[in-house]
Chains A and B, each alone.
Chain A
Amino acid sequence: MKKILAIVLAALMVFALASCGAENPTPDAGGKDAAPAGEKVVKIGVFEPASGDNGAGGKQETLGIQYANEKTPTVKIGDDEYKVEVIYADNGSSNDKAPTAAQSLISAGCSIILGSYGSGVSIAASDTFKDSGVAAIGVTCTNPQVTEGNSHYFRICFLDPFQGTVLANLASGEFKASKAYILTKLGDDYSTGLGYNFKQAFEALGGTVVEESFQEGNADFTAFLNTAKSQECDVIFAPTSTEAAQLIIEQSATQGIAVPLLAGDTWDSNVILNAAKGKDVKIYVTTFYQEGGNADFDNGFKDWINADATHLSNNGGDDTVAAVSAMGYDAYYVALEAIKAAGSADKAAIKNVLGSVTYTGVTGEIKFDETGDAIRDTAYVKTANTETGAWDFVREQGVN
């Protein structure tokens, strides 16, 4: 019995190995293998979380990329029409899974990488991309450490120092706040980074802050909200993932928190709208894109979402256009521009030209500076309408 088992196990292993060899072919062989009849293929890797704390956001960002891919499934390199194949890898919102997920994209032969939602995983995977010589375009990872000091990581979104300043300006200008409560999540680079930048900017404007942070998996925010209330803070700033956001909104409604809740781009999600609907809360977020900014895109995307139940559930159950989806959509086209500019599917060639690519997408004009960051000087401020369950546009806000 034991022996039979051992033999079966060994056979399975060999089989698995062999089949993987076939399934994950080397970059050169990839094109011919996956696409019959001589069709040429260029592969774009999508490095996004599909599970874990940032799973919801990652899925929405991926939807934008998927939509773009379905709209434009081919790219012309020189005279040849190439099919664009999108390869997905789930980084699980976790730094320890990021390098292997990144490696799986590289071994699948991707020519360029898009992602990730969440800065921590992008930083963790950065060296893996670097070693293989592939370029990556960060879609919504706003932490400065992602692109800093390397030549392969680019991004099309604004940065934390910018966003932090915008939010601080909003707090002290719009709400005349002099004391802010900052709630960040331990071990989340996005959260602590944005919190830090907000604090810097807010204190520079003459305000004071009360800072606290919560552990991963924390479900009870009442204690934190109580502190904010009893310290008489004028505004609460909570740059967190949407998972925590739901709970924060729910519980601040229960606790009767009257002051505005401020947050960054992660909160620009229908998860927040659903949580806030019918509750007595004031929520303000800064974001990359305002629904209605580009009617063609909005309508097309909505139709596409509504046409498929999986898409609909990945988008959180309705057809609200999340800013990250728009960003993902743009990122895909930036990647195509880079492939065209490079004139080949070779990852090194693409990496070399990526810095000089410009593109005008639905979220505005995209151009990279020398660190590889997008040059952007405005953010959109939105507020959650608790009656209609939609975002209301407040204004565009710059640093000044």
Chain B
Amino acid sequence: MKKSRKDMVFNLSLVALIFIAVIIVENIPGVNPMLSTVLKKGSIYALVAVSMNLLNGFTGLFSLGQAGFMLLGAYTYAVITIPDSAREKVYMYVKEGSAVSRSWFDNIANGLHLPEGVSNIAIMIIGMLAGGLIAAFFSWLIGLPVLKLKSDYLAIATLGFAEIIRAIFQWDKLGPVTNGSNVLRNFPTFKTAVFPLTVSAICILFIVLLINSTYGRAFKAIRDDEIAAEAMGINLAHHKRLAFVISSFFAGIGGALLAMFQNTLQATPFKSAMTYEILLIVVIGGIGSVSGSIIASFLYISASEWWLRGLDSGKFLFIESPAVLRGGFRMVVFSVIIMIIVLFFRKGIMGERELSVTRFLNFFRKKDGKNEENS
């Protein structure tokens, strides 16, 4: 009890510290703006990775539908929140124009005399929640047939589901809602990394609380041994669906955040490669570790978007060799690192453990001890 409370205080103060640091860093002129980009994308991927971990790591359901649910969340968000004044331009290739309007919200906001900043935040939150709920609803629907399937069949069925969703969203008959395969834009977006960090932190906190609750134990029981879990009175279908729906809800929110991050939205990038990317983040972080997924997300995004970019453009650290370090080399190095982790460090960074102050201290204490022995 005492130990876990100590950890909680530690973790919360760590989160608070990070927030303060981010706010300070973002406001210092001259600090590399790439840092802010990495924080934004990293926090979004952290949320999506943790939600995938809830399913794959904690419940033992190997689902590859993450990109599909993100797509649902992203589109719902965009379609709901584009201001009516911009719709005509956005839906310019759709004969019927946009079938959705946000006048209901604008009327309420005007009626309440909300200042623009507040109403903007409000519609963003409504849009995100709607995105999460739509994703959750579809996951419930698809969960009815596919959750009965065993491991790899489930994986391939959810992968297929994501592809189906992508095709539906590109269908021109749905143009008045989805704008067909054309780009959606002009929806409200965030400017600072504080917004996605806050949203992700709240969502991840909820997931952590869930994992540590009696439901979380039931999920882990299903992962460890389905038959024993069932014999202990845990309804498999119900709990699997619950994990699936909750995971998809947060994937939907993550998708909405990703739409904001990208400023524009199209269905094309939400393909299986995106799911694989998130899965690999989960693997690097450690399947079954929330803090692992978070650390891995930030590491992955910083490395791929920032630190290793030099590998593509001929200059990296002290090496200058345009013939070898050309376009695509970064991703080759990256995938080799991933394969090494998958093959030789199968537990990833954290294994199934979580970041904790006691373990942190023990780590150094033991290490010191070792050093003493050596010397």
Tell me if chain B binds chain A.
Answer: yes
The digit string for B293-316, where 1 denotes a CB below 8 A from any CB of A, is 000000100010111011011010
Q: In this assembly, does B358 line the interface, its C-beta being within 8 Å of a C-beta of chain A?
A: no
Mark A residues whose CB is within 8 Å of B. 3, 5-6, 9, 13, 16-17, 19-21, 23-24, 26, 28, 50-51, 88, 90, 94-100, 103-104, 106-107, 120, 123-124, 126-128, 131-132, 144-145, 148-149, 186-189, 192-193, 196, 213, 215-216
**Nearest-CB residue, chain B, relative to A192:** B182
Contact B269 A96 (CB under 8 A): yes
Contact A131 B167 (CB under 8 A): no
Known: A51-B327, A186-B268. 13 other contacts (CB 8 A): A5-B345, A9-B349, A28-B30, A90-B327, A97-B269, A104-B34, A123-B264, A149-B89, A186-B170, A186-B181, A187-B268, A213-B172, A216-B271
**A16 / chain B contacts, CB cutoff of 8 Å:** 303, 307
Contact A187 B307 (CB under 8 A): no
Q: In this assembly, does B104 line the interface, its C-beta being within 8 Å of a C-beta of chain A?
A: no
Q: What's the dominant secondary structure at chain A's contact region? A: helix
Contact A95 B266 (CB under 8 A): yes
The digit string for B233-271, where 1 denotes a CB below 8 A from any CB of A, is 000000000000000000000000010011111111101
Contact B307 A17 (CB under 8 A): yes
Across the interface, B34 reaches (CB within 8 A) one of A6, A103, A144, namely A103
Among A98, A103, A106, A149, the one with the most B-chain Cβ atoms within 10 Å of its Cβ is A103
Q: Give bound CA distance, A104 to B189, whole Å.
A: 20
**Can you name 19 A-B residue pairings with CB atoms under 8 Å?**
A9-B349, A16-B307, A26-B30, A28-B30, A88-B313, A95-B266, A99-B263, A107-B34, A120-B264, A124-B183, A124-B263, A128-B263, A145-B185, A148-B89, A186-B170, A189-B183, A192-B93, A193-B182, A213-B172
Are A104 and B172 also in contact (CB < 8 A) when A99-B262, A127-B189, A193-B93 are?
no
Q: In this assembly, does B31 line the interface, its C-beta being within 8 Å of a C-beta of chain A?
A: yes
**B31 / chain A contacts, CB cutoff of 8 Å:** 26
Mark B residues whose CB is within 8 Å of A. 30-34, 37, 41, 89, 92-93, 167, 170, 172, 180-183, 185, 189, 191, 258, 261-269, 271, 274, 299, 303, 305-307, 309-310, 312-313, 315, 317, 327-328, 345, 349, 363, 367
Contact B269 A20 (CB under 8 A): no
Contact A187 B181 (CB under 8 A): yes
Contact A124 B180 (CB under 8 A): no
Q: Give bound CA distance, A158 to B263, whole Å.
A: 25
Smallest distance from the beta carbon of B172 to chain A beta carbons, Å? 7
Contact A24 B32 (CB under 8 A): yes
**Nearest-CB residue, chain B, relative to A59:** B327
Contact A196 B262 (CB under 8 A): no
Contact B317 A19 (CB under 8 A): yes
Q: Give bound CA distance, A187 to B280, whole Å.
A: 26
Q: Give bound CA distance, A88 to B326, whole Å.
A: 11
**B274 / chain A contacts, CB cutoff of 8 Å:** 96
Are A127 and B263 also in contact (CB < 8 A) when A51-B328, A100-B37, A192-B93 are?
yes
Contact A95 B262 (CB under 8 A): yes
Among B31, B170, B258, B262, the one with the most A-chain Cβ atoms within 10 Å of its Cβ is B262
Smallest distance from the beta carbon of A12 to chain B beta carbons, Å? 10
Among A88, A95, A144, the one with the most B-chain Cβ atoms within 10 Å of its Cβ is A95
